[in-house]
Structure 1
Amino acid sequence: MALRCDPDSYQLIQNHAKNLLCFVNQYKWISEAYIVEFFVKDHWANLPGSWQDVLQDFDTEQMASLLSGQPMNNGTIFQRVWPLSLLSFRAAAYALPLPRILCEKDETFDHVEVQNLLRKAQTSYEPLPHHYRRHVKPKKQYEIFRLAKLINEVCTDSRCLNLVDVGAGLGHLTRLLSFGYGLHVTTVEADGCNVTGAIKLDSKLTETIQVKRVENPSKLKGVKLSESASDDPNIPSHVIFHINANIAADDFLNLLQENHGAVLLSDREERQTIVDKRLNGSITSADNNKSTVSGNENAKYAMSEQNLAHAQQTVSCDDKSFVFAGLHTCGDLAPTILRVFTRCKTATALVSVGCCYQRMTCRNVTPAKTQCNRTVPTDSQAAAILDTGNPRTTAGIQNSSQPQGYPMSTWVNHIPNHELNYEPRELACHAVDTYAQRLRDGDPNIILQCYRAILETIIQKQHPELSTGHASIRKLKKIMRNVKKQHDVPLNQYLSEALSKLGLEQVSIDESKELEKLLARWKQLIAFHVVRLLTAPVIESLILIDRMLYLYEQGFESQLIPVFNPKMSPRNFVLISKKTSPQFQDLETL
């Protein structure tokens, strides 16, 4: 089901954003509570007593039902009468987020394939031709198959064959779009190693196509070939460049121009000559941010200043226009793409799937408080939880020379208390549907969350600096990856290995007995985590709707579509915007 932001729905979208913010602020004491600090800060005690009475008796299937909103498999019901405040919280958590479920047509199309992948009954996504599955994990195979189809539809509707894939990585999506759909694709990727790898994979696929074309063309399923046997398929062009949040649209166009202007060239033979030389050349660093292919072809194939000026003055779908795309663009990259899209007149459409919201830079954010300031509504107040009293105001806006990832829209920026700290943004990236399935399946490794929370109590006593600051936390997580994590590993063994790797003192026998008592509270920890996870889709919806409002404020309609099965790909929303008419023809049925 698609959510559109157009003149008819704009005011509804604005009100939705206000309701989302009301919920986020009401339950900030939950979303800003790290589960790893469950025992350190006694998060269970922060829950109202009436909530504790209900949640403490939950088994894992009841927790899964609460999190997913689906009935329990065994047909049982919750035994206790819930307080109105908890019922209100659950109702709002279910009602406010964007619908994450695919439309029925999409859900049934590859239902068996997806279920087999989820059960690990097969190791590849069969609908994707085997040429594009090499060196690609099943999850990524599924994602590029689904998104490539959508991107091709957008390009077709926009009458544009040129595409710029930002944050392309090893170019798995790009190859499908180039070789499979015949689009003229240029990637922009910050990591030179990824670009080198992408060019090698492009070359291998090109060689395979050339051989199979002669020996057995029937083996080239999913490859778009020209009528002339002498023509090579479209080969992607690659640019190494770190896109700064401050980049201007003209600078981005110049970047494409300086790197042969691959997407801006109208002559196919001329472009193919460039790509052939790119594959035969080598990547060399031009400066700290940008690299080009060796050779002196830039001057020969660069777009003239006159043509560039003409391209910037038109929005028509000619040979100089292109479509923006990005699959799971991290942190500030997705908002940056949106800004460039709105300011670049030759960008005709946008297809964006964001991720890693915690890595965005945000305005007015203060460090999370060490103690939760919870404000739980009383039962008499609970029925009005969805009412917002936030007036639209222009007060409290800070000027900043650095563009922010959130909020992007003026509307959200004008709402008081719109800030999102690191913890809620990190929570918005959790795989809620996957976790609910783990609970439903009775995954025994769930208890390891309790192990980690117990370890945190020791860290806070001996060396609290290890958990202070995001840099230290990342370092701690890196060390913990080397600790054996299985449910059949006794707590004492887990703690001994972890403390040894962290360089901390081992616990005494008496301390060990006290820690075992904490382990007995593992169901409380999981129940609190489930309550916290219920806020995650609300936070993600707020971030995505803020982006829709930003696009509308810039004069462009947009829509959000759940394009992936959320159990396969948790960040499953694609944001689409087009500058050409007609808008969004049948895209929700792809």
Structure 2
Amino acid sequence: MSGLSLEQRKSWAAAISRFLARYRFLLDAPMIEFFTDDLWGHLPLSWQRALAELSSPHLAALLLQSSPSRQARAAAHALALPRGPRGEGGTLADGKLEEFQGNPQHSSKLHPLFRKHVKPKKQHEIRQLAQLVKKLSDLAGCRHVVDVGSGQGHLSRFLAFGLHLPVTAVEEDPRLVSRAVKFDQELVQSLKKEQAKGTLTAGDFCLQGPRHVVGCVDPRAPWQAFLHLLQQKKDEAGSPPVADGLFQAERTPKTSPGFHREAEKDGCQKTRTESRLRKWDGGRTDGEASASGQEGLVGGGPGQFCPENPPLLEAPVLLTGLHACGDLSVALLRHFVRCPRVVAITSVACCYMKLSVPDTAAPTDPAECGYPLSTWVSGLPGHQLSYKAREGACHAIEDYALRLVDESATLRTHCFRAMLETVIRAADPAKKRLGVQTINKSHMLTFEEYIRLGLERVGLDPNMALDRAALESLLGQQQKVVAFFSLALLLAPVVETLILLDRMIYLQEQGFQCELIPLFDPTVSPRNLVLVAAKADLSPALGGWLRTRSPLRPEHDPGRGQEGRSPLDTPTGSKL
């Protein structure tokens, strides 16, 4: 969707808002209430007749596959962002990624040293995102990357050791930071061994790893507080623990989960001097830089990274977040907009259901919410997204389509849970929508085994008498449950599109250029859209990543259809 203007993106968001407002009964319906609230009966009769007898493979073809020959999927596909990855690599005929063809656990395009402790999905993601971060950092003249929500440090590790970028990794959970530092240390030892054997040259990898900070990045905090978090020194009063990616055998005090070594004092002093002298805002020093930071950027040199004294951050900073959860992805955007030091971001979001939204019962300041961000979307009728709608936007539509095609036994899971809900409410009508801890391999159980395990987990008698005949009757409607869920899932990419368009419009309202890139293969990584923004022209960095898409025209607004109808209206009675 490259090259769209602010007005075109606003028009797109408005069309989605109209479309979703019409189908709240699909977006907001909890699947566990399929039987208790007769969700099937909420569908138009023509839809019921068309869907009732369809097999799972037919549902995949009708609703989820890409060719928009029917009205329903034509509307959803026209409104949703394209999710197919760019041409590099690709999926083979058997559905596997080319990079995993030799070994499903190891990406052939990622060096073996960076595959240790990393699942295949993450291997695919860190390699792709790191390349984009490196390209963007070169464009923005930015030699310092801050990885927000860094977890076990897989992305930070590859950026620092593999791509020679100074990295600060920020993670709230000290246990994950301890693990990340341990993995960093293991990698350093492996790199030294490979160098000693002569299999690596000195320029292949960097022995300087990321600097780790334990702390919470608050989207509502002023940007000065964010920079203060990044600049914390070890043992500073009240500061979060800091760990460096350079190691010796001794551990730091227990208040810090990481390691350190004595820095080379001359190198550190040189780094501080160079940092202070570096010019980055249109050739001016930082003291002369504009508050907005939107003017042209002139790159600073790579510089060394001093582990004993955190960087002064007088040079440009790039923020990145790989599947930063909920409002954490919003924090990247807010600090990019507000902080003159932050000159670029790459943000891959996840867990949309954890976004903060305006509370109608206790009104909150919209400026403190994670959705909507933009002034435009917040003013659109019908823009509101329930928890259920936002949770649905996180589902892996490509994976579900494959399960439909294969008629996987896992398709029965939603039916089992809806059956369990009828038993729970019959036993105690006051108990509704209880959280049931995941029942592993539930599709391999009989419905009675599943229900008794579920009853035990919600504190009810697992040995209570069950009406087997009634439950078997409900199980006979399993295909209707699958069809209803497929309908709801058809709308999931449209919901995600509205959330991401809201973020793009927010950035454009502030005067910044931004793009969305389907960077990962969606069959491997369902949240595969990367939001990229910079306070400089993005075109030189993104030429190979961008996909083009024609903007919506008012006369072809998929939210309206012919004569003001939605494309999901079915005048013929049998077509969706």
TM above 0.5, yes or no, is yes
Aligned-partner Cα distance in 2 for 1:250–1:359: 25
In the alignment, which residue of structure 2 is the partner of 1:440?
Answer: 405
Q: Does 1:276 align with 2:246?
A: yes
Aligned-partner Cα distance in 2 for 1:415–1:279: 58
In the alignment, which residue of structure 1 is the partner of 2:51?
Answer: 55
Q: Does 1:407 align with 2:363?
A: no
In the alignment, which residue of structure 2 is the partner of 1:94?
Answer: 77
Distance 1:509 1:257, change over 3 A: closer
**C-alpha displacement at 1:503, in angstroms?**
3.0
In the alignment, which residue of structure 2 is the partner of 1:246?
Answer: 220
Aligned-partner Cα distance in 2 for 1:110–1:199: 39
What amino acid maps onto 2:194 in structure 1? K
**C-alpha displacement at 1:321, in angstroms?**
1.1
2:533 paired residue among 565, 569, 577 = 577
Q: Do the aligned residues in 2 keep the contact of 1:171 with 1:198 (CA within 8 Å)?
A: yes
- Structure with the larger helix share: 1
Aligned-partner Cα distance in 2 for 1:326–1:258: 20
1:132 paired residue among 102, 114, 133 = 114
Distance 1:279 1:528, change over 3 A: farther
Cα offsets for 1:401-440 (capped at 9, x unmatched): 7611100001111212321111100010000110001111
In the alignment, which residue of structure 2 is the partner of 1:544?
Answer: 500
In the alignment, which residue of structure 1 is the partner of 2:351?
Answer: 356
**C-alpha displacement at 1:65, in angstroms?**
0.9
Q: Do the aligned residues in 2 keep the contact of 1:239 with 1:259 (CA within 8 Å)?
A: no
What amino acid maps onto 2:339 in structure 1? C
Q: Does 1:207 align with 2:189?
A: yes
Q: Do the aligned residues in 1 keep the contact of 2:394 with 2:527 (CA within 8 Å)?
A: yes
Q: Does 1:504 align with 2:460?
A: yes
**C-alpha displacement at 1:502, in angstroms?**
3.1
Q: Do the aligned residues in 2 keep the contact of 1:4 with 1:558 (CA within 8 Å)?
A: no
Distance 1:122 1:312, change over 3 A: farther
**C-alpha displacement at 1:123, in angstroms?**
1.9
Cα offsets for 1:539-561 (capped at 9, x unmatched): 00000000000111111010001
1:486 paired residue among 431, 443, 447 = 443
- TM-score normalised by the chain length of structure 2: 0.80
Distance 1:491 1:275, change over 3 A: closer
Cα offsets for 1:75-118 (capped at 9, x unmatched): xx9xxxxxxxxx5433211210000112334536999861685x
1:40 paired residue among 36, 42, 51 = 36
What amino acid maps onto 1:518 in structure 2? L
Q: Do the aligned residues in 2 keep the contact of 1:557 with 1:578 (CA within 8 Å)?
A: yes
Q: Do the aligned residues in 2 keep the contact of 1:259 with 1:292 (CA within 8 Å)?
A: no
1:65 paired residue among 56, 61, 68 = 61
What amino acid maps onto 1:132 in structure 2? F
Q: Give the percent of matched residue pairs that are identical in Structure 1 and Structure 2.
A: 32
Aligned residue pair count? 508
Cα offsets for 1:259-289 (capped at 9, x unmatched): 37xxxxxxxxxxxx97536985436548xxx
The 5-angstrom pairing of residues 257-276 of structure 1 reads 257-259=231-233, 276=246
Cα offsets for 1:379-412 (capped at 9, x unmatched): xxxxxxxxxxxxxxxxxxx661761110000111
2:521 paired residue among 565, 568, 571 = 565
Distance 1:443 1:183, change over 3 A: same
Q: Secondary structure at the match of 1:246?
A: coil
The 5-angstrom pairing of residues 123-522 of structure 1 reads 123-218=105-200, 224-225=203-204, 233-259=207-233, 276=246, 281-282=251-252, 284-285=254-255, 311=286, 313-314=288-289, 315=293, 316=297, 317-318=299-300, 320-364=315-359, 400=365, 403-463=368-428, 467-468=432-433, 473=435, 476=436, 478=437, 480-481=438-439, 485-487=442-444, 489-506=445-462, 511-522=467-478
In the alignment, which residue of structure 2 is the partner of 1:372?
Answer: none
2:509 paired residue among 536, 548, 553 = 553
**C-alpha displacement at 1:132, in angstroms?**
0.6
What amino acid maps onto 2:175 in structure 1? C
Q: Do the aligned residues in 1 keep the contact of 2:512 with 2:534 (CA within 8 Å)?
A: yes
What amino acid maps onto 1:183 in structure 2? L
Distance 1:296 1:256, change over 3 A: farther
Aligned-partner Cα distance in 2 for 1:283–1:537: 47
User: Could you list the runs of 5+ residues in structure 1 that have no partner in the other structure?
Assistant: 78-86, 227-231, 261-272, 368-397
What amino acid maps onto 2:6 in structure 1? Y
What amino acid maps onto 1:448 in structure 2? T
In the alignment, which residue of structure 1 is the partner of 2:25?
Answer: 29
Q: Secondary structure at the match of 2:212?
A: strand
In the alignment, which residue of structure 1 is the partner of 2:554?
Answer: none
Q: Secondary structure at the match of 2:97?
A: helix
Aligned-partner Cα distance in 2 for 1:116–1:294: 36
Q: Secondary structure at the match of 1:125?
A: coil
What amino acid maps onto 2:183 in structure 1? L
Q: Do the aligned residues in 2 keep the contact of 1:245 with 1:402 (CA within 8 Å)?
A: no
Distance 1:444 1:120, change over 3 A: farther
Q: Secondary structure at the match of 1:561?
A: strand
**C-alpha displacement at 1:338, in angstroms?**
0.4
Q: Secondary structure at the match of 2:323?
A: strand
Aligned-partner Cα distance in 2 for 1:187–1:361: 24
In the alignment, which residue of structure 2 is the partner of 1:264?
Answer: none
In the alignment, which residue of structure 2 is the partner of 1:391?
Answer: none
**C-alpha displacement at 1:124, in angstroms?**
1.8
Q: Do the aligned residues in 1 keep the contact of 2:244 with 2:260 (CA within 8 Å)?
A: no
Aligned-partner Cα distance in 2 for 1:418–1:312: 41
What amino acid maps onto 2:329 in structure 1? A
Q: Do the aligned residues in 2 keep the contact of 1:313 with 1:345 (CA within 8 Å)?
A: no
Q: Do the aligned residues in 2 keep the contact of 1:323 with 1:349 (CA within 8 Å)?
A: yes
What amino acid maps onto 1:486 in structure 2? H
In the alignment, which residue of structure 2 is the partner of 1:382?
Answer: none
**C-alpha displacement at 1:570, in angstroms?**
0.4
Aligned-partner Cα distance in 1 for 2:197–2:103: 33
- TM-score normalised by the chain length of structure 1: 0.78
**C-alpha displacement at 1:243, in angstroms?**
1.5
What amino acid maps onto 1:562 in structure 2? P
Distance 1:501 1:407, change over 3 A: closer
Q: Secondary structure at the match of 1:196?
A: helix
Q: Secondary structure at the match of 1:152?
A: helix
